[in-house]
């Protein structure tokens, strides 16, 4: 045998945002890891929009960072503009978004990968997964009919759910890498097809080589694949754009970093601008006149596209009453003239694209560097996965990113991290990382992916998180850093930061609740000046902060003990300088938490109560091998759905459409009976 044969712990297939996080997590946890990519030059490529974060996606990045992921740190190194969205709205929906220098982002991530111990980068197309059948006693009698019937006959919990075990991967050149776990992060590359009007190429994004072979191997393993599509707008030559006809969009004056480990002072810098313009009737007329040449409307595209980033054709057709649509021009980087045309993705032919773009004010003389296109690719319905992101039927096979039917860099990165961590946890025999809907947006993301029948690429939205008041971007570290530390991806130093932060927040909140002011003249004058009602009796600072017209900052002038309290905090044993400003005050990182916790206490308590209710069912776990045919009194529809999704808890079962509360009750009792009769034996 002349082919290459290597033995490693983990193989990660794909080096996009999911693959990078998965590979880094595994390597950092001490596992020998290989990351495969069709092109080393495309590591952490951003083939669509040149930004990271945004509404709810900003939350994801911060959570990822709190767990020990890389994306937040990487964007902090390479951003060229930063903005906190929704600042005028509630704290739960504040969301950070940064424009990236795409080339720098990719280069910086590659550098992180290259300098990571235990991690090998390999440019190769993985064509095949290697696997074993897991033998069980029942499976020896291979002759009988359907698997279903067999399960019934045996009725045994030993029939298990894992049917196979992954043992390695094989590349196009025949090299074999034996391993204990594989993480699939193939993004949009599987059997990818790009469409620009009538012109069709069989490539991945940006003309990169598609992965054409792996699909067959996955099918042979019993994995069901589906086809999704997405699209991207054109890139313009910036020198041909007339910015004087557009509105300039600046970054924030004070930049907030994504990563909890980044020192805010270190990233205050000159920022690039984006530009806003609008489509008009002329644009829409051209689109309408050429709809028959759009591959989507002509029926050439079979994949299901996302409704949340519709092509401009879709917008014009579905919202025909709108006279204009916003168009954002965003720089692709500092060392290129290329501009991304946000809001105008399209799969119309090249000539129509050019005509249509040129109707937009400021783009009259534009030259297109790269055409807009739509891309179709193979992915899975993630109901085949546990919420650990491991395949239910294949031990050691994990998946993350767009392969799971999601969309977006941030969604991908988060899944990659969770898949990577759990691959490591399995190999090391440690507890899996599973977050529920009340703990993180990542928990919501994964739960939605594995329990819902998603029919389009899944994008995160704040409205998907039921308990978003608790899942704020500002407290992601407080929610998750402890977990990251336990896993081993958060350093001791970072963990001590967290402990200090908690102590400071707690102390200052307590001070606000305990310090009371009387209804004296000075206070009444202060209140009057702020348009606030006079006090009848003494009130605590916390009570005053709850008033909409007052804030922690405003109370400064009547808060005589503040300076003294700050001094006491600074001399605390675990005090860390990063939480104090240069003049010795508590930093905004702490004060924001204090203010939010006090101001919205009523709502937060209400939401916490809901979470308690929710957790009750969530804690009731369902054995993976439960035979639903043995559960009496389930409705037929519920039985089918439960068999299909195999939920891990009663809570998850209750979220599957077609499973009623009564079915959950029935299941609850069945599990209880089973448990009791087993403990009796």
Sites of contact with other proteins (CB under 8 A): 49, 55-56, 85-86, 88-93, 307-310, 315, 318-319, 322, 325-326, 328, 342-343, 345, 452, 461-464, 468-469, 548, 603, 607, 616, 631-635, 657, 660-662, 665-666, 668-670, 672-673, 676-677, 680
* Nearer CB in complex with other proteins: 361/658: 658
Q: Nearest distance from residue 308's CB to other proteins, in Å?
A: 5
| Helix, coil or strand: residue 514 | helix
Q: Nearest distance from residue 453's CB to other proteins, in Å?
A: 9
Q: Nearest distance from residue 432's CB to other proteins, in Å?
A: 23
Give 472's DSSP letter.
Answer: -
Q: Nearest distance from residue 111's CB to other proteins, in Å?
A: 29
Helix H or strand E segment including 234: strand 225-237
Q: Is the separation of the CB atoms in 107 and 132 below 8 Å?
A: no
User: How far is residue 51 from each of residues 83, 101, 328, measured CA to CA in Å?
Assistant: 11, 8, 12
| 502: its two tokens | 């908690």
| 665: its two tokens | 């009750």
Longest dimension (CA), the chain: 93
Q: Is the separation of the CB atoms in 311 and 343 below 8 Å?
A: no
* Nearer CB in complex with other proteins: 128/595: 595
Q: Nearest distance from residue 131's CB to other proteins, in Å?
A: 35
Q: Nearest distance from residue 348's CB to other proteins, in Å?
A: 17
* Nearer CB in complex with other proteins: 99/262: 99
Q: Nearest distance from residue 548's CB to other proteins, in Å?
A: 4
Q: Nearest distance from residue 362's CB to other proteins, in Å?
A: 17
Nearest alpha-carbon partner for 397 in 582, 670, 130:
130
* Nearer CB in complex with other proteins: 112/617: 617
Q: Any residues with CB less than 8 A from the CB of 303 and at least 6 apart, and which?
A: 227, 228, 229, 376, 377
* Nearer CB in complex with other proteins: 379/638: 638
Nearest alpha-carbon partner for 105 in 132, 124, 80:
80
* Nearer CB in complex with other proteins: 463/621: 463
Q: Nearest distance from residue 515's CB to other proteins, in Å?
A: 23
Angle, helices 102-114/71-78, rounded to nearest 10 degrees: 130
The radius of gyration computed from the CA coordinates of the chain, to the nearest angstrom, equals 27
Place of tokens 């203010």: 595
Helix H or strand E segment including 35: strand 33-37
* Nearer CB in complex with other proteins: 181/341: 341
Q: Using CA atoms, how far apart are residues 574 and 341, in angstroms rounded to an integer? A: 49
Query: Which residue blocks in 381-520 are alpha helix, DSSP H?
Result: 409-428, 441-451, 476-487, 492-514
Q: Nearest distance from residue 401's CB to other proteins, in Å?
A: 18
Residue 287, φ and ψ in degrees, nearest 5 = -65, -45
Q: Any residues with CB less than 8 A from the CB of 229 and at least 6 apart, and which?
A: 301, 303, 304, 305, 374, 375, 376, 377
Q: Using CA atoms, how far apart are residues 51 and 129, in angstroms rounded to an integer? A: 34
Q: Nearest distance from residue 340's CB to other proteins, in Å?
A: 10
* Nearer CB in complex with other proteins: 297/580: 297
Beta bridge partners of 231: 374
Q: Using CA atoms, how far apart are residues 177 and 4, in angstroms rounded to an integer? A: 8
| 162: its two tokens | 């894992």
Q: Nearest distance from residue 63's CB to other proteins, in Å?
A: 17
Q: Using CA atoms, how far apart are residues 544 and 552, in angstroms rounded to an integer? A: 9
Q: Is the separation of the CB atoms in 260 and 374 below 8 Å?
A: no
Label the pairing between strands 373-380 and 193-196.
antiparallel
Place of tokens 């002349």: 2
* Nearer CB in complex with other proteins: 250/308: 308
Place of tokens 């039917």: 405
Helix H or strand E segment including 654: helix 650-654
Q: Using CA atoms, how far apart are residues 48 and 399, in angstroms rounded to an integer? A: 22
* Nearer CB in complex with other proteins: 57/501: 57
> What is the CB neighbour count within 10 angstroms for residue 536?
7
Instruction: Provide the Cα torsion 158, 159, 160, 165; round to 10°.
Output: 110
Q: Nearest distance from residue 607's CB to other proteins, in Å?
A: 8
Q: Nearest distance from residue 85's CB to other proteins, in Å?
A: 5
| Helix, coil or strand: residue 400 | coil
Residue length of the chain: 681
User: How far is residue 97 from each of residues 83, 248, 442, measured CA to CA in Å?
Assistant: 5, 17, 17
| 44: its two tokens | 């952490």
* Nearer CB in complex with other proteins: 85/369: 85
Q: Nearest distance from residue 664's CB to other proteins, in Å?
A: 10
Q: Nearest distance from residue 159's CB to other proteins, in Å?
A: 23
* Nearer CB in complex with other proteins: 213/635: 635
* Nearer CB in complex with other proteins: 83/501: 83
* Nearer CB in complex with other proteins: 202/603: 603
* Nearer CB in complex with other proteins: 202/308: 308
* Nearer CB in complex with other proteins: 299/548: 548
């Amino acid at each position: 045998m002349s082919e290459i044969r290597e033995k490693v712990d983990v193989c990660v297939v794909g080096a996009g945002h999911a693959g990078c996080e998965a590979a880094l997590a595994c390597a950092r946890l001490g596992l020998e890891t290989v990351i495969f990519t069709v092109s080393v030059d495309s590591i952490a490529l951003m083939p669509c929009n040149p930004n990271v974060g945004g509404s709810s996606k900003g939350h994801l990045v911060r959570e990822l960072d709190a767990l020990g992921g890389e994306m937040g740190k990487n964007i902090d190194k390479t951003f060229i503009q930063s903005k906190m969205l929704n600042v005028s709205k509630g704290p739960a929906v504040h969301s950070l978004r940064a424009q990236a220098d795409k080339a720098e982002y990719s280069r910086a991530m590659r550098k992180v990968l290259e300098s990571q111990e235990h991690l090998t980068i390999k440019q190769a197309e993985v064509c095949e997964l290697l696997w074993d059948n897991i033998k069980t006693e029942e499976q020896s009698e291979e002759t009988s009919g359907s698997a279903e019937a067999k399960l019934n006959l045996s009725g045994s919990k030993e029939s298990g759910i894992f049917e196979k075990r992954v043992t390695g991967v094989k590349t196009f050149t025949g090299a074999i890498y034996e391993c204990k776990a594989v993480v699939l992060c193939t993004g949009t590359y599987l059997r990818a097809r790009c469409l620009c009007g009538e012109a069709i190429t069989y490539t991945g994004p940006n003309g990169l080589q598609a992965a054409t072979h792996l699909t067959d191997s996955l099918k042979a393993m019993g994995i069901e694949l589906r086809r999704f599509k997405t699209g991207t707008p054109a890139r313009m030559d910036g020198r041909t754009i007339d910015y004087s006809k557009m509105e300039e969009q600046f970054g924030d004056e004070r930049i907030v970093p994504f990563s909890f480990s980044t020192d805010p002072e270190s990233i205050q810098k000159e920022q690039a601008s984006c530009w806003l313009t609008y489509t008009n009737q002329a644009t829409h007329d051209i689109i309408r006149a050429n709809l028959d040449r759009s591959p989507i409307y002509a029926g050439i595209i079979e994949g299901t596209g996302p409704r949340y980033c519709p092509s401009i054709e879709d917008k014009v057709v579905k919202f025909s009453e709108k006279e204009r649509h916003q168009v954002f021009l965003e720089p692709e980087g500092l060392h290129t003239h290329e501009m991304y045309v946000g809001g105008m993705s399209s799969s119309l032919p090249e000539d129509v694209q050019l005509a249509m773009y040129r109707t937009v004010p400021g783009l009259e003389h534009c030259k297109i560097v790269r055409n807009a296109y739509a891309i179709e690719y193979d992915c899975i319905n993630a109901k085949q996965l546990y919420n650990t992101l491991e395949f239910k039927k294949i031990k050691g096979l994990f998946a993350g990113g767009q392969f799971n039917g999601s969309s977006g860099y941030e969604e991908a990165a988060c899944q990659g991290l969770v898949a990577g961590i759990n691959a490591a946890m399995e190999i090391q025999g440690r507890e899996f990382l599973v977050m529920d809907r009340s703990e993180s947006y990542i928990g919501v993301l994964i739960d939605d992916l594995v329990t819902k029948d998603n029919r389009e690429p899944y994008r995160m939205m704040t409205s998907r998180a039921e308990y978003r008041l608790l899942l704020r971007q500002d407290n992601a570290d407080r929610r998750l850093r402890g977990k990251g530390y336990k896993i081993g991806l958060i350093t001791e130093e970072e963990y001590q930061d967290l402990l200090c932060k908690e102590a400071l927040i707690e102390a200052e909140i307590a001070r606000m609740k305990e310090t009371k002011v009387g209804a004296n003249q000075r206070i009444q004058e202060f209140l009057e000046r702020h348009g606030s009602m006079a006090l009848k009796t003494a009130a605590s600072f916390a009570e005053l902060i709850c008033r909409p017209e007052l804030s922690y900052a405003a109370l400064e002038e009547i808060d005589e003990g503040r300076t003294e309290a700050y001094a006491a905090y600074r001399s605390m044993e675990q005090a860390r300088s990063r939480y104090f400003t240069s003049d010795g005050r508590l930093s905004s990182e702490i004060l924001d938490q204090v203010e939010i916790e006090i101001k919205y206490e009523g709502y937060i308590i209400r939401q916490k109560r809901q979470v308690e209710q929710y957790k009750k069912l969530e804690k009731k776990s369902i054995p993976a091998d439960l035979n639903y045919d043995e559960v009496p009194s389930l409705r037929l529809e519920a039985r089918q759905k439960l068999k299909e999704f195999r939920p891990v808890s009663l809570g998850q079962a209750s979220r599957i459409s077609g499973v009623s509360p009564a079915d959950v009750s029935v299941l609850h009792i069945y599990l209880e009976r089973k448990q009791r009769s087993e403990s009796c034996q």
